[in-house]
Structure 1
Amino acid sequence: AFSNPLKVEGTVEEYLTDTVTNMQGTLKDLTRDCAADLDTMMLDKFVKSFPSQTCVVGIQLLWTTGVQDSIAKAKTDRNAMPQMNKRAGVTLQSLISMASYGGPSYLERTGIEALIVTQQHLVDTAQELTTQKVRSLHEFEWLKNLRVYWDEDKDNCNTCIADVSLTHDYEFLGCTERLVITPMTNRCWISLTQAVHMFMGFSVVGPQGGGKAETV
């Protein structure tokens, strides 16, 4: 349901424009609530309390904050990143258990599977950062990754990669399946965000079924 009731009135163009605006506002409200509840809500309750696409943003917010804190501590605490890896792995195993047991509905299972794909990528990335002994938030090995933040001052969700920061558009995606995120996907994200940042166009080329549309 929308955060604010929508009156069906006016011309079709006006009504549809109001629908899109209301939808984006509702998703922004949900993302804000999600960011606020991340640290206090149990994982199973969290997954059931928010839409799938909001949960995907939520676990990325949690991962970004956790890895940043661990990298900042890594200079004095060599166990900071390994402990972060362990927490990320526990989250992944919990999601797998939720999908395997308890008889979730088809819609719930689809949402959980999307979270598993995303979390697996985050686990792999954290492990790579640990192996490469990243000790600074200014190192490219950290900056090249997709990072998600909630900006309290601007009351908005920002997606960052390399030196580019883009404001979340809160476009409705629904509860959909996700393809596996590969190193090639990450390289595409870097190229695409750089193109958008420089007000340039881009075109993703590849075989059918390779995930071009989803990557964009």
Structure 2
Amino acid sequence: DKPREEWIFDYAAQIILTGSQIWWTTDVNGAFVRIEEGFSNAFREYNKKQIVQLNALINLLLGHLNDQDREKITTLCLIDLHARDVISKMLNLKIENINEFTWQSQLRHRWDPKDNNCYANICDARFKYQYEYLGNKSRLVITPLTD
């Protein structure tokens, strides 16, 4: 049980990016459950957690890293920034239901322990993760148009 900013050095980029996406989906789904239970600030609290995680990654980038780790962490930062923006949008729109299109239209990764596989969901489509990976590509930003 290592902190995220430590275990990212133990695995290849494909694994940390996929794992981070699975955790993001799990955390957001958990925030929806907390909202249903009456905790109206669940997304605000999660947004604070996202900022802490981003700051930890930024601090890593300020240190001495080899080129491969720097590119891996930079890519993870960009993915995390997009995730933060999604949560900010849901906060602004006051999204409180897991079935709302704003959330359902996001690419959501989840791990199914029954068949030991990762699935990518978007809207009502579900795809088994087939280990597709484009590598650590330099990205300037992820916008709603490039999402």
TM bucket, shorter chain: over 0.9
Query: TM-score when scaled to structure 1?
Result: 0.64
Work out the number of aligned pairs and report it.
146
Q: Is the 8 A contact 1:144 1:162 kept in 2?
A: yes
Query: TM-score when scaled to structure 2?
Result: 0.92
Offset of residue 85 of structure 1: 0.4
Alignment-derived partner of residue 61 in structure 1: 22
Alignment-derived partner of residue 98 in structure 1: 60
Alignment-derived partner of residue 202 in structure 1: none
Alignment-derived partner of residue 143 in structure 1: 104
Greater RCO (CA < 8 Å, at least 6 residues apart): 2
- In 2, the alpha carbon distance for the partners of 1:139 and 1:172 equals 28
- For residues 122-160 of structure 1, give each alpha carbon's deviation from its aligned partner in whole angstroms, at most 9, with x where no partner exists: 011011111211111111111011111001112110011
Given candidates 34, 45, 59, the residue that maps to 1:73 is 34
- For residues 169-200 of structure 1, give each alpha carbon's deviation from its aligned partner in whole angstroms, at most 9, with x where no partner exists: 113544443342110122xxxxxxxxxxxxxx
Gaps of 5+ in 2: none
- In 2, the alpha carbon distance for the partners of 1:145 and 1:172 equals 18
- In 1, the alpha carbon distance for the partners of 2:4 and 2:24 equals 14
Superposed CA RMSD in Å reads 1.4
Q: Is the 8 A contact 1:51 1:175 kept in 2?
A: no
- In 2, the alpha carbon distance for the partners of 1:151 and 1:177 equals 30
Offset of residue 71 of structure 1: 1.3
Matched, 1:169 2:137: no
- In 2, the alpha carbon distance for the partners of 1:69 and 1:180 equals 27
Gaps of 5+ in 1: 1-39, 187-216
